[in-house]
C-alpha cells in the first residue's frame, strides 16, 4: 500500500499521461516516487535518472519553460451557452463545464429549438424558418419576427460551433495518441498497481510527447538510456510488472510475449478502430486541398498541421497493429491486407536544406506515392497486399522489413540521453525567457513580427 506521499506522486505521474510535460520533470517525479517508497535503485538506473533530473525545472534556477505543458484544447461553447440562457430563460441551469461537453451542448440546442418550433439540423435560413402564420400556428405569437430570427440564428451558429468542438476534440485525441499511443487511456488503478511500471510508462510517454526539431537529420527517438534503465527494472521482476499497461505504449515482442491472446486481441481491436478514425481525418485533409504526393512538400493552402498530426497517429497505430498481428501469429493477413505508411508533409525550407546538404527526398516518399491511399485500402476500395508493397519497395531500393513497410521495425538501441531543448517553432533556443520573447515577436514563424515585440527585443 503506497504512502500518501507516494500516492500523490503516482497521481501526478498518471495525470502526466495526458499532458506534455518535459521528460526531465517526469524523471524528477519518478525519482521522488522511488525515494518515497525507499526503493534501492541499481547504479545504472540511478545514474540515468540523475542525468535527466539534473535538468528538471526544479533543479534549474529559473524553474520555467516557455513551452505549453498541455495539448491544445478546443475553445468551448461557454459564451454561446450564456447567450442561449439569456434568450431562452426556461432552459435548466447548466454546470460550469457544460461548454466543453458536446452531449450537453446538443441537448441545449435541441431543447431550445423546441421552444421556437425548430428541429435539430434545420439550418437553412431561407427555407426552414417559420413564417408569421406558421409561428402563430405553433403558439409563437409572442415572438416578433426579429426575436424569432435572433434565436434561429443563434441555434444555427451553435450547431456549427458544436461541429467544430467535436472535430477539435477528435483531433486532440488523435494528436495525443500519435505521441503517446494509448497511455492517456490507462485507468489509474491499473497504472498505479506497480510503481515500476508506472515509472517506465510515464517517462516513455513524456519522451514520445516531445516536439519535432527543425533539422535536416533524424528526430530524437523516444527510447533513450533513461527509458531503457527503467524498462530493464521491469524485465528483472516480470511477475510484478503490469505488461498489459506497458503494451499500451511499448509493443515490442519482449512485452507482448507476456500477454494472453485475449489481451492481445483486445488491443488489436482498439487499434483497428483507431486506424479507421485516423484514416478519416487523413482523407478529409486530403480532400480539402490535394497534396503534392510525389514530394510531400507543403504548398500554399495545405493544412499541414492536421495532416502531420494524423500522419503521426497513423504511424503509431500502424506500428502497434503490426506488432500485435505478428504476436498473434496472423502474419498471413498481410498477404491480403498490408496498409502502407503515411509520410508527414515537409516544409519547403527543410526540403531545400536537405538538398543543399547532399540529401533528397526520403525513399519512403516514392513508395507512398505508388501505393493505394490508406483510407481506400481500409474501405476495401483498393487492394494493397504484401506482395505489392514489397514490389514497390524493391523498385525504390527500400528494405520492406527494416523500413517498417511489411513488419514492425526492429527494436533500436537506446539513444543517449540529451536534455529537452526550448523550441520556438521547432528551432532550439537555450534560454526559456528568450524563447518566450522570440515566440511573442513571431520569430521563426514565417509571419510578420509585431512592432512592439521587436522594440522590446
How confident is the model over 142-155, as pLDDT tens digits? 888 999 999 999 99
Mean pLDDT lowest for which of 366-370, 401-405, 450-454?
450-454
Q: Which of 13-17, 123-127, 363-367, 399-403 shows the lowest mean pLDDT across its residues? A: 123-127
**pLDDT score, position 457:** 39
Q: What is the pLDDT of residue 453?
A: 40
pLDDT digits over 19-34, tens only? 999 999 999 999 999 9
Please write the tens of the pLDDT for every residue from 418-437. Answer: 999 999 988 888 888 888 88
Distance CA 227, CA 160 (A): 44
pLDDT for 186 equals 98
Q: Where are the domains of the chain?
A: 21-63+187-250, 78-174, 258-419, 422-456
Who wins on pLDDT, 78 or 355? Answer: 78
**Mean pLDDT value across the chain:** 92
Q: How far apart are CA 50 and CA 197, in angstroms?
A: 19
Is the pLDDT score of 454 beyond 60?
Answer: no
pLDDT at residue 88 above 90?
yes
Q: How far apart are CA 407 and CA 338, in angstroms?
A: 9
Q: Which pLDDT tens digit goes with each residue over 286-319?
A: 999 889 999 999 998 899 999 999 999 999 999 9
* CA pair distance 64, 52, nearest whole angstrom: 16
Whole-model pTM: value is 0.91
Per-residue pLDDT band at 216 (split at 50, 70, 90):
confident
Amino acid at each position: 500500500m503506497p504512502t500518501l506521499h507516494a500516492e500523490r506522486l503516482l497521481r501526478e505521474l498518471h495525470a502526466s499521461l495526458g499532458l506534455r510535460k518535459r521528460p526531465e520533470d517526469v524523471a524528477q517525479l519518478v525519482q521522488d516516487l522511488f525515494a518515497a517508497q525507499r526503493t534501492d535503485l541499481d547504479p545504472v538506473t540511478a545514474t540515468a535518472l540523475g542525468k535527466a533530473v539534473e535538468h528538471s525545472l526544479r533543479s534549474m534556477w529559473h524553474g520555467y519553460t516557455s513551452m505549453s505543458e498541455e495539448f491544445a484544447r478546443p475553445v468551448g461553447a461557454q459564451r454561446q451557452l450564456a447567450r442561449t440562457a439569456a434568450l431562452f430563460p426556461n432552459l435548466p441551469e447548466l454546470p460550469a463545464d457544460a461548454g466543453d461537453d458536446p452531449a450537453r451542448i446538443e441537448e441545449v440546442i435541441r431543447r431550445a429549438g423546441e421552444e421556437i418550433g425548430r428541429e435539430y439540423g434545420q439550418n437553412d435560413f431561407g427555407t426552414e424558418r417559420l413564417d408569421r402564420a406558421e409561428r402563430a400556428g405553433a403558439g409563437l405569437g409572442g415572438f416578433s419576427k426579429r426575436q424569432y430570427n435572433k434565436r434561429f440564428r443563434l441555434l444555427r451558429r451553435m450547431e456549427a460551433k458544436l461541429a467544430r468542438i467535436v472535430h477539435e476534440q477528435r483531433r486532440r485525441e488523435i494528436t495525443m495518441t500519435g505521441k503517446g499511443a494509448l497511455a492517456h487511456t490507462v485507468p489509474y488503478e491499473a497504472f498505479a498497481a506497480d510503481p515500476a511500471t508506472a515509472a517506465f510508462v510515464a517517462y516513455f510517454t513524456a519522451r514520445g510527447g516531445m516536439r519535432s526539431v527543425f533539422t535536416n537529420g533524424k528526430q530524437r527517438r523516444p527510447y533513450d538510456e533513461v527509458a531503457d534503465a527503467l524498462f530493464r527494472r521491469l524485465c528483472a521482476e516480470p511477475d510484478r510488472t503490469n505488461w498489459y499497461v506497458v503494451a499500451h505504449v511499448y509493443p515490442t515482442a519482449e512485452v507482448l510475449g507476456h500477454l494472453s491472446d485475449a489481451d492481445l486481441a483486445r488491443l488489436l481491436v482498439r487499434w483497428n478502430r483507431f486506424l479507421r478514425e485516423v484514416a478519416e481525418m487523413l482523407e478529409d485533409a486530403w480532400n480539402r486541398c490535394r497534396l503534392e504526393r510525389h514530394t510531400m512538400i507543403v504548398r500554399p493552402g495545405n493544412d499541414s498541421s492536421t495532416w502531420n498530426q494524423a500522419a503521426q497517429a497513423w504511424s503509431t497505430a500502424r506500428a502497434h497493429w503490426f506488432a500485435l498481428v505478428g504476436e498473434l501469429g496472423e502474419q498471413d493477413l498481410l498477404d491480403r491486407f498490408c496498409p502502407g505508411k503515411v509520410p508527414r508533409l515537409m516544409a519547403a525550407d527543410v526540403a531545400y536544406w536537405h538538398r543543399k546538404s547532399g540529401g533528397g527526398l526520403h525513399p519512403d516518399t516514392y513508395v507512398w506515392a505508388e501505393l493505394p491511399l490508406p483510407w481506400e485500402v481500409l474501405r476495401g476500395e483498393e487492394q494493397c497486399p504484401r506482395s505489392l508493397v514489397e514490389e514497390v519497395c524493391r523498385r525504390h531500393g527500400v528494405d520492406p522489413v527494416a523500413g517498417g513497410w511489411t513488419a514492425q521495425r526492429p527494436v533500436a538501441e537506446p539513444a543517449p540521453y540529451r536534455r529537452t531543448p526550448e523550441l520556438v517553432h521547432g528551432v532550439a533556443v537555450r534560454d526559456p525567457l528568450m524563447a518566450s520573447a522570440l515566440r511573442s515577436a513571431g520569430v521563426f514563424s514565417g509571419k510578420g513580427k509585431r512592432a512592439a515585440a521587436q522594440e522590446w527585443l
